[in-house]
Amino acid sequence: MKTVKKILRYTKSQMFFYILAMICAVISVGFTLYIPVPVGEAIDFMIGKGAVDFDKILSAVIKIAVSIGLTVVFQWLMTYSTNVISARAVRDLRSDVFKKLNTMPLSYLDKNARGDLISRVTNDAEAVGDGLTQVITQLFSGIVTIVGTLIFMMSINIGLALVVVILTPLSMLVAGIIGRLCAKSFRDQQELQGEISSYVEEIVGNQKVVKAFAYEQRGEQSFEKLNKKLFKVGLRAQFAGALANPCTRFVNNMVYAATGIIGALTVISAFMGRLTIGGLSCFLTYANQYTKPFNEVTGVLTQIQTALAAGERVFKVLEAESEPDDSDKLTLGEARGDIEFKDVSFSYTSDKKLIEGFSLKVGSGEQVAIVGPTGCGKTTLINLIMRFYEVDKGEILLDGVPTSEIRRDELRKQFGMVLQDSWLFSGTIMENLRYGNPDATDEEIINAAKLSYAHSFIRKMPNGYNTMINENAENLSAGQKQLLCIARAMALDPPMLILDEATSSIDTLTEIRVQKAFKKLMKGRTSFVVAHRLSTIRESDTILVMRDGNIVEQGAHEQLLKKRGFYYELYNSQFADS
């Protein structure tokens, strides 16, 4: 019920369509319930030899035809209104989930599969909408139908009406038992659909690696395991859900049969009051319509259960803890670039320590290189500076102000970042280069491209700067993608720079040129350069050599070589033959 209430909250703003749907439901059901009256009258007008009244039968047929026509019109209006309510609710729900993902800490996104999160925004939200449409439609028409048929049945014969009312709840009892039994299966089905979405996204998005390692067959086998598991769970869920409708129909048919028998006895012997054959026919029609809403609800039980399971998954995202609101924190102008780590400790998991008691002072305009073996904490330092992760202990200061007291967006605006993974979105090259600085002029963008040595290859593209980058930037080489990312950072013109393996996909000649461009860009700016290729950081003011989360050496390139320590070993491992 909690999930149902959460979903229905998204429909509250559509009160106009709620009222319209309810009015249409009342009118359409009213005409539907009126139809058996002229039908019963027509039957009574043709009972007995030579007692057929054609004029009155014709009048009854006209009433029936008009009622059917009006029923169709108002049912269409009701369906339109409920579809609008559902579609707008899903639109708002999907929008809220997307906004929520943008407020989530990086730790949450790192722990959850990307494909599964995408599935929650798309597939699960859509499933909620499908279920919502069914529920609202059945809710409006069902309530009016039940109330209306009760009134009509009691107006015909109170005794028979009580028989129907007493026996009908049996079908709801059966439906409730089946619903509880299959709820877990539907939850498992939605979870597995998320897993499959994640796996497909992973395999399709990395086809070059899949083919390079001849992983196609093993990938298919892994997919088949997931697919078969989903098939079994889905079959179990669908089978359990499909049982509800025939079971309740069986119970309702038994109720209908009992009502028919008792009604026939009433017609013959006035067992429960006086009743004509036409009246019995009319009553049985109402009895059937009375049970119809219960049958329809159980008929869409599968969709409803799927919607509830999907809703639980969506609301898990919406209710996850966001990054704390920091709108009341400090805002910054342009920072000078003094960075200080004070006794900083951090670990991704409590059972595995990474950085402990780390302290460092970086003056404005200094270039700091961070080197060390994989997993030593180089990129972690960058994550902490940018507040992608919060420190466990100690503090980081920017221009003497703890970064925890500065708004995240204000802090991150101070940095231009070029990462090892080159991310570009589907759009023109110009749009991608303007991503961090939407107010930059075309001239500024082109100048940034020239500085990063991207201008020459951009000019050779089919439409130059207006060339569309397709999904995953497959129409660009790895080096070209990285040059565009470097140009994007240059177009931002930030007071501080972070370069995390920024030249890893560039050939040696271009790397030399880009290093010259970086030198111009980094002049007067505090810069952090994470590097494995030590040739790129020889001119750094300070080189931090890290091992197991600690700085084991610190100094300029020549100083560290003279110490013949860990940096000396790293350097010689790369240049031993040079």
pLDDT tens digits for range 126-161: 888 888 887 777 777 777 888 888 888 888 888 788
Q: How far, in Å, are 73, 110, 197, 198 from residue 114 at the CA level?
A: 45, 8, 9, 6
The pLDDT assigned to 51 comes to: 67
pLDDT of 271 over the 90 cut: no
CB 370 within 8 A of CB 317: no
pLDDT of 546 over the 50 cut: yes
Question: For tokens 């470097």, what's the residue?
Answer: 486
The pLDDT confidence band at residue 108, using thresholds 50, 70 and 90, is confident
Is the pTM higher than 0.85? The answer reads no
Average pLDDT over residues 65-90: 90
> What is the distance between the alpha carbons of residues 444 and 366, in angstroms, rounded to a whole number?
25
- CATH 1.20.1560.10 segments of the chain: 2-93+112-318
Tens digits of residue pLDDT in 211-220: 776 777 888 8
The pLDDT assigned to 251 comes to: 77
> What is the distance between the alpha carbons of residues 552 and 368, in angstroms, rounded to a whole number?
15
Average pLDDT over residues 58-86: 89
- CATH number assigned to the domain with residue range 328-413+533-578, chosen from the 4 options 3.40.50.300, 3.40.1390.10, 3.30.2270.10, 3.20.20.140: 3.40.50.300
Residue burial 131-170, b: 16+ Cβ < 10 Å; e: rest: bbbbbbbbbbbbebbbebbeebbeebbeebbebbeebbee
In 3-state terms, what secondary structure has residue 361? strand
The pLDDT assigned to 395 comes to: 92
The pLDDT confidence band at residue 273, using thresholds 50, 70 and 90, is low
CB 21 within 8 A of CB 82: yes
CB 397 within 8 A of CB 403: yes
Q: How far, in Å, are 417, 457, 496, 532 from residue 375 at the CA level?
A: 20, 35, 24, 12
Label residue 301 left, alpha or beta by phi (over 0 means left) and psi (-120 to 50 means alpha).
alpha
Tens digits of residue pLDDT in 450-494: 888 889 889 988 889 999 887 667 778 877 888 888 888 888 888
CB 335 within 8 A of CB 346: no
Amino acid residing at 480: Q
The class (CATH top level) of 2-93+112-318 is mainly alpha
The pLDDT assigned to 506 comes to: 66
- CATH 3.40.50.300 segments of the chain: 328-413+533-578
Tens digits of residue pLDDT in 306-364: 788 888 888 988 988 888 888 888 887 788 888 998 998 888 877 777 788 888 888 88
Tens digits of residue pLDDT in 517-537: 677 777 778 888 887 777 678
Instruction: Count Cβ atoms below 10 Å from residue 19 Cβ, excluding itself.
Output: 11
For β-strands 468-469 and 427-428, DSSP reports them as antiparallel
The pLDDT confidence band at residue 396, using thresholds 50, 70 and 90, is very high
The pLDDT assigned to 446 comes to: 92
The pLDDT confidence band at residue 578, using thresholds 50, 70 and 90, is very low
The pLDDT assigned to 147 comes to: 83
Residue burial 401-429, b: 16+ Cβ < 10 Å; e: rest: bebeebbbebbebbbbbbbbebebeeeeb
The pLDDT assigned to 248 comes to: 74
pLDDT of 420 over the 80 cut: no
Q: Which strands make up the sheet holding 393-398, listed edge to edge?
A: 355-362, 339-346, 393-398, 401-402
Average pLDDT over residues 177-201: 77
Average pLDDT over residues 489-514: 76
Q: What is the 3-state secondary structure (H, E, C) of 151-216?
A: HHHHHHCHHHHHHHHHHCHHHHHHHHHHHHHHHHHHHHHHHHHHHHHHHHHHHHHCHHHHHHCCCH
User: Mean pLDDT, the chain, as a whole number?
Assistant: 81
pLDDT of 576 over the 60 cut: no
